[in-house]
């Protein structure tokens, strides 16, 4: 079984990488169709599909009476996106991640949104009112990004040279297959790790951590290598904002819940600090370079260590 699991892992990983190529190709075409910036296309479409793994886990957890599992998945994957994904993408790119989108000019709003899960959940519970506030904040922010896109690109015209429906169909199809192959890649990677008797903590810190954000990681790596940095930025930021507001809000609306305060203190604070760190790096020279990528990865390792220490050494669960 160990050979079969390894072979299936490699097969689905190759499918995942190939689908990322097609997703970039057709998302770039869609951006040209409406003369929209690539950041806007990826923020609205790619991010909403990339968020499906966390959304599915969180909603099912809420219906099963375990909404706190959704909280850990959402905030934990956000920390991984802002540190591990950005860090790896910056390291594998030849010139770092360039910030070209004018919509990213004011990162203040992103940081404010990342603070709300921490503020609303500071008392150790999320009520339906808290959930409604988070959903409304997320929707309002999406409206703002759309309005900013129109304001910065007023002359939006349909480009008849680009085959719209063909591009849209192939774009959605490539993203759906990307998502499915990401799920199967993680599944067989975990099976292989289990067969190989790898330590559980090692599996959690590597395979599972990367698995929750595998769609946006592979997509972003391919995007920056093809000089589509705005697609990578839109995907990651869109995923993070959607998780922290709309998805978490839906979980609270379905099933209000309580949890150990330390979970929100550590994970929520780490998510905000990660967002702050990324913002500072982007403001410095309009890019995230390799050195900053290393710092982001080290931040994630520190976060995992603190989570492990609090939950296992101190026994606070």
Residue 29 is predicted with a pLDDT of 74
pLDDT > 50? residue 58: yes
User: Using one digit for the tens of pLDDT, what is the confidence trace for 199-239?
Assistant: 544 455 456 556 667 777 877 887 888 777 777 777 788 88
Q: b/e for 210-222, b at 16 or more Cβ within 10 A?
A: bbbbbbbbbbbbb
Among 82-91, 96-105, 155-164, 247-256, name the one with the lowest average pLDDT: 155-164
Q: What is the pTM of this model?
A: 0.75
User: For 295-305, what is the mean pLDDT?
Assistant: 91
User: For 113-135, what is the mean pLDDT?
Assistant: 91
- The residue with greater pLDDT, 218 or 315, is 218
Residue 205 is predicted with a pLDDT of 47
pLDDT > 70? residue 312: no
Please give the CATH superfamily to which domain 2-313 belongs.
NCX, central ion-binding region (1.20.1420.30)
pLDDT > 80? residue 292: yes
Residue 167 is predicted with a pLDDT of 79
User: Using one digit for the tens of pLDDT, what is the confidence trace for 169-188?
Assistant: 887 888 788 778 777 877 78
- The residue with greater pLDDT, 112 or 162, is 112
User: Using one digit for the tens of pLDDT, what is the confidence trace for 261-273?
Assistant: 777 788 889 999 9
* Mean pLDDT for the chain overall: 77
User: For 37-41, what is the mean pLDDT?
Assistant: 67
Residue 100 is predicted with a pLDDT of 63
Residue 211 is predicted with a pLDDT of 67
Residue 156 is predicted with a pLDDT of 45
Among 27-31, 205-209, 276-280, 300-304, name the one with the lowest average pLDDT: 205-209
pLDDT > 90? residue 96: no
pLDDT > 50? residue 5: yes
Residue 130 is predicted with a pLDDT of 94
Residue 152 is predicted with a pLDDT of 52
- The residue with greater pLDDT, 208 or 110, is 110
User: For 285-307, what is the mean pLDDT?
Assistant: 88
Residue 10 is predicted with a pLDDT of 80
pLDDT > 50? residue 35: yes
User: Using one digit for the tens of pLDDT, what is the confidence trace for 128-173?
Assistant: 999 999 999 999 988 887 777 666 554 444 445 557 777 788 878 8
Residue 102 is predicted with a pLDDT of 54
Model confidence band, residue 283 (pLDDT cutoffs 50, 70, 90): confident
């Amino acid at each position: 079984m160990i050979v079969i699991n390894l072979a299936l892992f490699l097969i689905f990983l190759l499918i995942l990488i190939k689908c990322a190529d097609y997703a970039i190709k057709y998302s770039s075409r869609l951006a040209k169709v409406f003369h929209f910036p690539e950041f806007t296309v990826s923020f609205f479409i790619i991010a909403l599909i990339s968020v499906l793994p966390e959304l599915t886990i969180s909603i099912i957890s809420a219906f099963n009476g375990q909404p706190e599992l959704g909280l850990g998945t959402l905030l934990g994957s956000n920390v991984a996106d802002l540190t591990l994904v950005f860090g790896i993408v910056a390291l594998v790119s030849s010139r770092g991640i360039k910030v070209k989108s004018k919509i990213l000019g004011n990162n203040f709003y992103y940081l404010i949104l990342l603070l709300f899960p921490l503020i609303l959940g500071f008392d150790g519970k999320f009520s339906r009112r808290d959930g409604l506030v988070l959903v409304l904040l997320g929707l309002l922010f999406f409206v703002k990004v759309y309005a900013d896109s129109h304001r910065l690109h007023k002359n939006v015209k349909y480009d008849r040279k680009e085959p719209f429906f063909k591009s849209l169909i192939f774009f959605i199809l490539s993203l759906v297959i990307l998502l499915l192959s990401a799920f199967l890649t993680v599944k067989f990677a975990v099976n292989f790790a289990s067969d190989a008797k790898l330590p559980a903590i090692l599996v959690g810190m590597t395979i599972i951590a990367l698995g929750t954000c595998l769609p946006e990681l592979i997509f972003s790596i391919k995007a920056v290598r093809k000089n589509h940095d705005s697609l990578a930025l839109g995907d990651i930021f869109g995923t993070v904002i959607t998780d922290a507001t709309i998805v978490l809000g839906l979980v609270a609306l379905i099933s209000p819940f309580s949890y150990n305060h330390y979970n929100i203190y550590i994970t929520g604070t780490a998510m905000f600090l990660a967002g702050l760190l990324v913002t500072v790096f982007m403001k410095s020279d309009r890019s995230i370079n390799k050195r900053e990528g290393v710092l982001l990865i080290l931040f994630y390792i520190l976060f995992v260590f603190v989570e492990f220490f609090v939950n296992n050494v101190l026994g606070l669960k």
